[in-house]
Chain A
Amino acid sequence: MKARTTIIMIGMVLFATLTAARAAPGDERFCGGSYDGWDRDVMAASAGLGGALVSLASGTDQTFTWNAANPALAVLTIEAEDPAGTITNGGAMRVTVPAAWACRFDTSVSVTYGGDAAGKVGAASFLDGGRTLNIPVTADFIAGDTLTLSGLKLLDLALCPSGTQWLELDFTGDGTRDVYDGNSLALTVPWPGGSYDGWDRYVLAESASLDATRRGTVFMLSRLMRGSGCR
């Protein structure tokens, strides 16, 4: 124990001697002066955690019937609350019909722009057989810029299953969805049909043993299907 302590103390002395030798003039450990060792900085304004805050909104939920010819869409609003440099001159934004629906935009219509960013985009065009509306960007968007799109219509809703879907927006121009429409599109199918659905079941009246080997019983389960279902 005494030897261990002696070794430790020799080590301490060596360490202190070595380090004392390093404590030459100009040793920053002992330099300093004005102002303390403390600071803070706070962001002046809130920022989005997604890197950019851009939204797409139809303003209202919309419902269509499957056989509607070319129903008009409500005015779409793209709000660049904090574009964070993602919507810039030379780029493009794309509005797309829901991926799960086989419908398309009516390409015969003219899309009209509104909002304070109307002058920052060029003439819209349709891509992908009308499934995508392409909006070329001609000037950088800044925080608070808003662009409205009027005149859009849908076609071929008869190709879509019923249910609820959302339009999609790619504002970074990379070809992938960035945000969904904040409002929904619903499709209903008011086609007349008969009673009963395309489903039935049959249940055994009484419990039966599954020990077929010992009792020598053979049994069958059957299911009847009836009725013609709607799409």
Chain B
Amino acid sequence: MADPMRIRAQVAGDKATVRVLMSHEMETGLRRDGAGALIPAWFIQEVSAAHNGKTVLNAQWGPSVAKNPFMQFSVRGAKAGDKITVMWKDNKGDSRTDEATVS
């Protein structure tokens, strides 16, 4: 299991700004190790976010997204105390879900 995500969700007017920092290697599959062998691709493919259990965002990522990915988005109508859940899944089938409370 990968390390937890860091999620911060803050109210800004009638919406909440959500910032997510994930912990992931995001290998492109194009780099070589010291012996010249290709390092296999290992990256997050799917990301989704939910507001109080309702999916509000789906994203698909490629290997071009930087290591330990950062993502920022705004959820309309989110209030303090609401739950924001973020889920990712990588190309090896590993996944992680974390939850944060809007403040």
Q: Do A and B come from one complex?
A: no
Write the residues of chain A forming the contact surface with B, with a CB cutoff of 8 angstroms: none
